[in-house]
Amino acid sequence: MPTGVLSSSPESAQPSVPRAAVVGCGDISAQHLAAIGSLAALGAVRLVGVVDPDPRRREAAAEAHHAPGYASVGELLARGGVDVVHLCTPHSEHAPAALEALEAGVHVLTEKPLAHTLADAERLTEAADAAWLASGTQLGVCFQNRYNAPVVAMRDLLEGGTLGAVTGAEATVMWHRPAAYYAARPWRGTWAGSGGGLLMNQAIHTLDLLQWLVGPARLVDGRASARALGNVIEVEDTADMVLEHAGGQRSVFFATNANGVNAPVTLDIQTEAGELSLRGALTVRHGDGRVEVVEEAGVLVGERSYWGASHQLLIADFYRCLRARERFWIGAEEGAQTLRLIKDVYARSYAPDMWR
């Protein structure tokens, strides 16, 4: 898969078929359980538990996937016999669960964001590096859109050099999240549960892609606020940013959950000899007038049309790295980099006691 930057791990004893557990049995867990199911059919992983403090969700997942249910990560780890945890919990629960698992020598694949505060992200980055060095224990972050076929094509084209250097970029995320979306899961609208709103939960994927494709960025300026749902959520539903990437290029970014529909994410990158334009599919405009299109594999419907196609690809690649004892390429530092940008926007928009 894409540009694995991989070093080999210290020796660690692993059973031949890794034993996985899914922590948090809400909306996104279905993607992880489906991917684990596909890999299990190939004998590449075995589901040994599901974890959720909510007995209804826990029991439903346990029954559907024929795996024992646990009320907490602590209970799962105390029972033993697990090699990998998939963290699909509210944001505030990522770091505590990940730290507990790494401490026990259990690999972690966490949903984005890495953590809900910068302090937790830094603790986790240190713990992940230490766990890798000590025992080859891994932490991966679920930025699955890096595996979407048009995005991989963008990265390959930019690295191939035929389009010349990047000169600038622009991105938009124009989505629709009604009050009911927050009412269904109140943590999503709070600083304590989510650590932020639209940027932490939705637009983070596009910010990650911008940095992966154009280079690490610093915030030139940006603001976030609740412009439509201020009576429903504490956190922002809209944000704008100007970024400067490591090569000196500028990008502009606008995102909102206050749009009337879930419009396709747009990501346009201008280069010395052409332009890359992502709207689900990728359109490549070459300087000589040629136009090429790279489609996503399959038609995405429902939630997948905005989550992206590629949970399955990322999860399979994570397990490939575990087997090969190679460090997974989207780790804690990658997660922390995007979190720093987001928190920098909050620092310019809210009092410190709210967003920290």
Ligand X SMILES: NC(=O)c1ccc[n+]([C@@H]2O[C@H](COP(=O)([O-])OP(=O)(O)OC[C@H]3O[C@@H](n4cnc5c(N)ncnc54)[C@H](O)[C@@H]3O)[C@@H](O)[C@H]2O)c1
The single residue among 20, 28, 243, 339 that binds ligand X, judged by CB under 6 A, is: 28
- The separation between the first and the last C-alpha atoms of the chain, rounded to the nearest angstrom, is 35
Q: Does 309 bind ligand X (CB under 6 A)?
A: no
Return the range that interacts with ligand X (CB under 6 A); candidates 3-11, 89-97, 223-231, 329-337. 89-97
Q: How far is it, in rounded angstroms, from Cα 312 to Cα 38?
A: 8
Q: How far is it, in rounded angstroms, from Cα 81 to Cα 73?
A: 13
Nearest to 117 by CA among 42, 221, 191, 36: 191
Q: Does 23 bind ligand X (CB under 6 A)?
A: yes
Distance of closest approach, residue 283 Cβ to ligand X, in angstroms: 23
Three-class SS of residue 50?
Answer: strand
Distance of closest approach, residue 51 Cβ to ligand X, in angstroms: 5
Nearest to 81 by CA among 51, 46, 56, 111: 46
The single residue among 172, 201, 277, 337 that binds ligand X, judged by CB under 6 A, is: 201
For ligand X, the closer of residues 143 and 253 by Cβ is 143
Q: Do 294 and 284 meet the contact criterion of CB atoms below 8 Å apart?
A: yes
Q: Which position's Cβ is nearest ligand X?
A: 26
Q: In this structure, what are the phi and psi dihedrals at residue 332, rounded to the nearest 5 degrees? A: -60, -40
Contacts of 304 (CB under 8 A, 6+ apart): none
The single residue among 5, 27, 79, 126 that binds ligand X, judged by CB under 6 A, is: 27
Q: Does 83 bind ligand X (CB under 6 A)?
A: no
Distance of closest approach, residue 204 Cβ to ligand X, in angstroms: 8
For ligand X, the closer of residues 243 and 330 by Cβ is 330
Q: Does 296 bind ligand X (CB under 6 A)?
A: no
Distance of closest approach, residue 164 Cβ to ligand X, in angstroms: 32
Contacts of 278 (CB under 8 A, 6+ apart): 150, 151, 154, 265, 266, 267, 268
The single residue among 65, 86, 91, 146 that binds ligand X, judged by CB under 6 A, is: 91
Q: How far is it, in rounded angstroms, from Cα 48 to Cα 80?
A: 10
Nearest to 145 by CA among 296, 293, 342: 296
Q: Do 132 and 12 meet the contact criterion of CB atoms below 8 Å apart?
A: no
Q: Does 39 bind ligand X (CB under 6 A)?
A: no
Return the range that interacts with ligand X (CB under 6 A); candidates 23-31, 174-182, 232-240, 321-329. 23-31
For ligand X, the closer of residues 275 and 334 by Cβ is 334
- Which residues are at the interface with ligand X (CB under 6 A)? 23-28, 51-54, 57, 73, 88-91, 93, 111-112, 142, 144, 185, 201, 307
